[in-house]
Structure 1
Amino acid sequence: MGSIPVNEQILELSDEIKNRLSPYLPEDVKLVQKGLMLYRQGLVTQLRMEQGEFRATVQDVTPAKVQLNPEILGQSKCSCPSEGLCRHQMAVFFSAYAQKGSVADWVSEWREPLRENMHQTNLATAWGLKKAKDLVKAEGVLKPDYSRWVQSFEVSFNTLVGGKKYTNPFIIPELFEIYLKRIRASAPVEKEWRLIYELVAAVVSFRNLVVLSNELGFDEQTVRRAYHHSFENLLGEVEEIVEKMGVQTLPFSFDEFIGHLKDEVFELLTCTRKGLEQERIQLHRLLWTELFRKKEWRQEEARKIGDHIKQLEDGENPVPYLVTRIHLFFLLGNDEQALELANSVPEKFITPYMLWWIEDFSAARMWRRVEPLIELFLQQLKKYTDWLGSYHSSSVFIRKALRAITPYCSENGRVDLFERALLVMLPYSFADYEHLLLERGDWDRWAELYALVGLGYDDLGNDRVKRLEKERPELLLGMLHQAAQHEIDQKNRGSYRMAVRHLKKLRTLYKKLKRMEDWEYFLTQLLERTKRLRAFQEECQRSKLI
C-alpha cells in the first residue's frame, strides 16, 4: 500500500462489513471463515488503493480480480461468479485491514454480539422463536399463530436490519432484502395461510422500516434516494395479496388474524411522529378500503383516530390522522362529515389527497359524490400551487388533477365545470384550455386567454397565424399593434427592423379587411410620435412603409 493514507478508508470498510454481515447467520459466518482462510494462506496479491477503491488479485482455484468500495459496499466487484459479498472480497478486506490493526481482533469483535446474546437466543427458543424448519422437525406441521409470527418478524428484523447505527443509508435495502427472504422462507405451506402470513409480514416489516428510518434520523430526501423503493415494493405486494384474498372465500379462522392486523395497521399512524406520511396513509387506506369492510370496524377506527387527534403531542404531524379519518368517513358514506373535516385542513396538506377520492368515486361511477369533491378541490387548488412554488411541480400536479376530473365532466356533460377548472389551473393548464377554445372556435375567449397569460403575436406559431388570418384576421390586428410598439420601445436598430416587419404585416391585414383609411391614419400618427427616433424612421423608409 506504500505511503497511501488508508486508515480512514479501512475503518469505513470495516463498518460497512460489520453492518452487512451478521454473526447470527451461518452463511455469513462461513463467508468470514473462507475469506480469513484465503488471507492467512497469503493468496492476496497486488493490494493497492486506486480511485478510492481497494484493489487486489486473489489466487484461488481461478484467480479473482477484486475491487472493494469503502463507501458503498454494494458497488464492489469481483470477477468470480458469486453475487454480492464473496470470499475473495473478504480476503482483500482482511489483507487491507492488516495494514491498520489485528485481523484476529476484528473477527473477535465481530463475533462479540453473538457471545453476549447467547442467553437471548436460548430465551427465543423457549418462546418458540425457532426457525420454521426447526419447528417443523420438533412439532410436525406448525399451527398458525399471529403472535408468534409477529414475534419472529421482530426478532429477524432486529437481528438482520435493526439494532445498528448506520451511517450509510444505501446498506439498508440490501439487508432488508435478506431479511424479507428469511421470513418468506418460513411461510406456511397452505396457500390460504401463506397469503395472510405474507400480508402480516409486509405490514409489520413496513412499520419496522419506518421506525428504523426515524431512529436513524435520515431525512426524507435521503430515504427516497437510498431505499424508498423498499416501501413501494411492500405497498405493491400488499395490493397483490389483498386482490388475491378478495376473489376467494376466507375461512372463519382468519377472523382472529384480521382482527389483530387491524390493530397493527393503526400502529402505522402512531409508530412515528413524522416522516413518510403519504406512504403510511396509502397503506392504511388500501387495507381499510379492500380488506376491513365491516361497518362497525370502520366506525371504531374513525373513533380511535379522532381520540388520538385530541391528544396529539407537540411536534406530532396530524396529517396522517386527519386524512385517514376523512377516508373512513367516505367509506362509511358520511360525505358531509368528510367534506367538513377536509375543508378544515390546510390546503397544502389535504389538496393532493383529494384526487384519490375523486378518482375512487369516478371509477365506481358515483357521480353524485364526485361533484362536491371537485368543487372543494377547485377552491383549494390555487393556494396549494402557490405553496408548491415550483412551476414544474405545479404543472405535474395539474396534469394529474385534469386526468382525475375529466371522467366526471365528460360523463355528465359538465363542460362549464371543466372550463372553470382550466381557468383556476392557469397558467399550468394553458395548453389544455387553448385547445378547448380552438376546438369550439371560441376566438374571442382565446384572445382573452392569450392576453391574460401575457402572450402575444411573437408567441404564435405559423399554424395559428395562418388560421387567424383565415378565420378571424381582426384579432391579429391588436396583437400586431402591441408587438410593433413593444419593439419600438426597445430603441435599438434590431428591434426597429422587427417593428417594421410587424407593421408591414399590419398593412397587409388592413388591406385585406378593406380598412386602408384606418391604416393610413394609424401610420401617420405613429410616424409623428416617433419623429425623434431617426433610426426607426430610416428603417421605415428603407422598407418603403413611407
Structure 2
Amino acid sequence: MTSIPTFNDETWLRLVRYAAEAFNELTLSRGFQYFKQQRVTSLNTVQDHTMQATVTGDETYTVRVNVARPAASSCTCPVAVPCKHMAAVMMELGERMGYPVSQLVNARTYLKQLTPAIPPDQLPGQLRGKDVFGWHEFMDALVAGVKPAYNQNQYIEELRRHLQPLNSASIPFSAIEWKYFELHQELFIVRKIRKLSEKSEYRYYTSFVLPRLYTETMNLLRQKSTTLNFSIAEERLKQTLRYMQRQMAEETGNRCMEYGLYMTMWELWVAGRPDADLWAAQQLAELEKLETPAVSAAAAQVFLYLRLSQYEEARAVVESSDMINNVSTDMLLTFLNYIASAKNWELLTDWLAKTAPAFYERRVQELATYIRLWNEAVPHVPGAERQMWSILEQALPDSMWIIEDLLYEQHRWKLWLELQIQQEHGPLHHKVGVLQPIEKEAPELLLPYYHQAIHRCVSLKTRHDYKQAVKLLKRLEKVYKKMKMQGRWEQFLIGFAERHSRLRALQEEMKKGKLLP
C-alpha cells in the first residue's frame, strides 16, 4: 500500500467522528464482519487524501475513502447512504495504520469517553487560533456523546445545551468574530440534522425540521447583515464560504438547501463589494476543485459563471449535471431572472427554451413566472413569440389559463372566444366587465358565443337553465343594439320563441324577463 503522509492521530479521529455521525450501529457491525472476513482487497492511494479499495461479497464494489473529508467518500454499491463496504474499508485502513478497529466499531461510545466536559475557563485555549473548520471539529467533540433522537426538537435542544458553554467563555474574539462564531454554531446544528437526514431511519423525522432550520438560518444571515459589516473580517468570510462549499459538495438529493444558504450569504456579504467579480472568480476556482461536486455545488458554479457573464460555461455546467431534471424550478428561475436582469434577451430566450420541460406539470405560480420572463424577452428577440406559444401548447392543460390571459391581454378576441367555447364556457362564466372590451371593439365576435350558450341552456331543460337562457338573451339584445342590428335581433327572437313554443317553463321565464308580451 502506498503510504499516506497525512494520516495521523487527527486523521484517525476525523474518521471516528464521521463513523459516529454517518453510520448506524447495524451498518458498523456489518462492516466489521466484512473486515474480519478479509473482504477488503487492493487498498491503495489514488489521489492526495483518497484511498481506493475493492470489497467482495455477493457483488464486488469499489470504495473510495477521503481521509481529509470523509463525507466525500463513496461506494459503487446501490446503497445511497454510508454503507457496510465503506465501513469495512475504513476499518481495514485503521488496522494497517496501527489504530484500534474497535474505536470505529464503537465510535459513539469511544468519543463520549474521549471528550469529557471542558471547563469554561479552558475553552479560550482550546479555540485560540482555530479557523472555522477547527471550530466545527471542536463542536463535534463537544457533542460527541449526544445520541441522535427521533424527536428532532429534543435532539437540537440537547446539541445546543452542549454548545452553551462556548457562549459564556472568555474567548479572545473580536465583535465580528463573535458574530461569525454564533453563525457557525447555527450552521453546525444544520449540518448535524442534515447528516441525520441521510440515514433512512431518521429521514422521515428530519424532513419536517430541516427546511425550517435552513429558513431560520437564512433569516439569521439577513438579520446580521443589517447590523454588522461582515466583510471587515475577510479571512473569516473566505473560510465561511469555503465551509459552505464543502457542505454543498456533500449535500445529497436535489433540494439544494445548502446552495440557498451559500447564495444568501453571497448576495448579502459579497455581491456589493467593489471586488465582487474577483471573489466570484476565486470561488469558482475553489468549487472546481471539489472532488464530488453535488447538484448544490454545481448550481453555485452556474450562478457565479452568470455573474461573470461566462454564459457558455454556465450552460455547460447545467447540461453536464442534468440540472434541468435534477433541481427545483425555483432554482432555475433564479438563473433565468439573473439573465433577465442583465437584459441579455437572446440568451434568456435560449435558456427559456432549454429549461421548458422543467416547468411542465408544475405549480401555477412557477409556470406563470416562467411565462412572464418569456413576455419580457418577446419584444426584443425575433421569433421568440412563436417559441413561447409552442411551449405553452406543449404545457397544456396546465398552461390553459396562461394562454387565456395572454390572448386577452393582447386583445386577440377571436382566439380567446374560441378557447372559451372549446372549454364549454359561456358569457355567464365571466364577470360582466370581462366582456365589455370585446363589446366595444368587436361585438360581432360575441354573437356565436352567446348563441351557443343559449342553445346549451335550453337543451338542459331545467327551470334554472331557462332562467340562465333569459339572462343571456337580454345581454345578447344589448350586443345587437350595440351593432345597430335591432331588426336582426327581433327576427331572431321571434324565431326563437316559435321554435321553443312547447317549452312552457321557458316561455314563462321569457315573459318574466319581458322578452315576450
TM norm structure 2: 0.60
Given that 2:324 and 2:358 are in contact with CA atoms closer than 8 Å, whether structure 1 keeps it comes out as no
- 1:482 maps onto 2:452 in alignment: yes
User: Is 1:266 the counterpart of 2:249 in the alignment?
Assistant: no
**AA matched with 2:285:** Q
Counterparts in 2 of 1:135 and 1:351: CA distance versus 1, 3 Å: closer
Residue identity in the other structure for 1:377: L
Aligned residues: 393
Does the 8 Å contact 1:347/1:381 carry over to 2? no
Distance 2:494 2:419 in 1: 31
Instruction: Determine if the alignment matches structure 1 residue 396 to structure 2 residue 365.
Output: yes
Matched, 1:204 2:188: yes
Instruction: Give how far 1:208 is off.
Output: 1.8
Give, in whole Å, the separation in 2 of the partners of 1:361 and 1:262.
24
| In the alignment, structure 1 residue 502 sits paired with structure 2 residue 472 | yes
Query: How big is the shift at 1:297?
Result: 4.0
The 2-side partners of 1:358 and 1:398 are apart by: 13
Post-superposition offset of 1:489: 2.1
Residues 502 and 296 of structure 1, relative CA distance in 2, 3 Å threshold: closer
2:312 aligned with 1:376: no
Deviation at 1:461, TM superposition (A): 1.9
Q: What is the aligned counterpart of 1:189 among 167, 173, 191?
A: 173
Deviation of the 1:452 alpha carbon:
6.8
Quick one: distance in 2 between partners of 1:205 and 1:120? 18
Structure 2 CA distance for aligned equivalents of residues 418 and 244 of structure 1: 46
The whole-number CA distance in structure 1 between the counterparts of 2:475 and 2:133 is 82
1:142 paired residue number? 128
1:207 and 1:271 in contact (8 A); partners too:
no
Q: In the alignment, which residue of structure 1 is the partner of 2:118? A: 130
Q: 1:267 to 1:243 in 2, by over 3 A?
A: farther
**Gap change, CA 1:374 and 1:246, over 3 Å in 2:** farther
- Distance, in Å, in 2 between the alignment partners of 1:530 and 1:380 is 55
Aligned partners of 2:333 and 2:370 also within 8 Å: yes
Shift of 1:503: 2.4
Amino acid at match of 1:167: Y
After TM superposition, give the deviation of residue 460 of structure 1 in Å: 2.5
**One-letter amino acid matched to 1:515:** M
Match of 2:428 among 441, 458, 467: 458
Change over 3 Å in CA distance of 1:303–1:528 after alignment to 2: farther
1:334 aligns to 2:334 (yes or no):
no
Distance 1:334 1:479 in 2: 52
Question: In the alignment, what sits opposite 1:354?
Answer: 332
Are 2:473 and 1:493 equivalent residues in the alignment?
no
Q: Mark the CA change 1:156 to 1:538 in structure 2 (over 3 Å): closer, same or farther.
A: same
Q: Are 1:151 and 2:134 an aligned pair?
A: no
Closer/same/farther in 2, CA of residues 377 and 385 from structure 1, 3 Å limit:
same
Choose the corresponding residue for 2:285, options 284, 294, 299.
299
| 1:49 alignment counterpart | none
Q: Determine if the alignment matches structure 1 residue 282 to structure 2 residue 260.
A: yes
- Following the alignment from structure 1 to structure 2, what is the Cα–Cα distance between the partners of residues 236 and 508? 57
Which amino acid is 1:237 matched to?
A: L
Superposition deviation, residue 239 in structure 1:
4.8
1:173/1:227 contact within 8 Å kept: no
The 1-side partners of 2:130 and 2:118 are apart by 14
What is the rounded CA distance, in whole Å, between the counterparts of 1:506 and 1:118 in structure 2?
84
- Give the conservation status (yes or no) of the 8 Å contact 2:248–2:296: yes
Aligned to 2:11: none
Percent of matched pairs sharing the same residue: 18
**1:203/1:264 contact within 8 Å kept:** no
Q: Given that residues 169 and 223 in structure 1 are in contact (C-alpha distance below 8 angstroms), is that contact kept between their aligned partners in structure 2?
A: yes
Preserved contact between residue 358 and residue 373 of structure 1 (Cα < 8 Å)? yes
1:171 maps to what in 2? 154
Q: CA deviation at 1:450?
A: 4.6
- Say if 2:256 and 2:295, in contact at 8 Å, map to a contact too: no
Change in 2 beyond 3 A, CA 1:215/1:158: farther
SS of the residue corresponding to residue 326 of structure 1 reads helix
User: SS of 1:487's equivalent?
Assistant: helix
SS at match of 1:189: coil
Question: CA separation in 2, counterparts of 1:367 and 1:188?
Answer: 48
What secondary structure, in the 3-state scheme, does the structure 1 residue paired with 2:476 have? Answer: helix
| Displacement after TM superposition at 1:327 (Å) | 2.8
The CA deviation at 1:484 is 0.4
Q: Check whether the contact 1:496–1:536 (CA below 8 A) recurs between aligned residues.
A: yes
Whole-Å separation in 2 of the counterparts to 1:282 and 1:299? 20
Q: What per-residue deviation string (whole Å, max 9, x for no partner) do you get for residues 467-506 of structure 1?
A: 6555544343232212201101212233223223322432
**Distance apart, 1:458 and its partner CA:** 0.6
Which amino acid is 2:458 matched to?
I
* Distance (whole Å) between structure 1 residues aligned to residue 108 and residue 214 of structure 2: 30
Distance 2:127 2:474 in 1: 92
Cα distance change on mapping 1:499 and 1:417 into 2, 3 Å: same
CA distance in 1, matches of 2:422, 2:383: 19
Aligned to 2:214: 231
1:68-101 alpha-carbon deviations (Å, 9 max, x no partner): xxxxxxxxxxxxxxxxxxxxxxxxxxxxxxxxxx
- CA RMSD of superposed structures (Å): 4.6
Q: Alignment partner of 1:293: what SS?
A: helix
1:449, distance to aligned residue in structure 2 (A): 6.2
Rounded Cα–Cα distance in structure 1 between residues aligned with 2:318 and 2:108: 50
Distance 2:505 2:498 in 1: 14
| AA at the equivalent of 1:203 | L
User: 1:337 is matched by which residue type in structure 2?
Assistant: E
Q: Which amino acid aligns with 1:230?
A: L
Inter-CA distance 421–177: structure 2 relative to 1 (3 Å threshold): farther
Distance, in Å, in 1 between the alignment partners of 2:126 and 2:323 is 54
Structure 1 residues 183 and 271, CA gap change in structure 2 (3 angstroms): farther
Q: Distance in 2 between matches of 1:545 and 1:383?
A: 57
- 8 Å CA contact retained: 1:266, 1:284: yes
Residue 298 of structure 1, CA deviation: 0.9
> Structure 2: any 5+ residue segments left out of the alignment?
1-106, 271-277, 393-397
Shift of 1:366: 1.9
The letter for the 1-side match of 2:310 is: N
Question: CA separation of 1:432/1:156 partners in 2, compared to 1, >3 Å: closer, same or farther?
Answer: farther
Sort the Cα spacing of 1:182 and 1:236 in 2 relative to 1 into closer, same or farther, 3 A.
Answer: farther
Cα gap change, 1:500 to 1:237, in 2 (>3 Å) = closer
Amino acid at match of 2:364: S
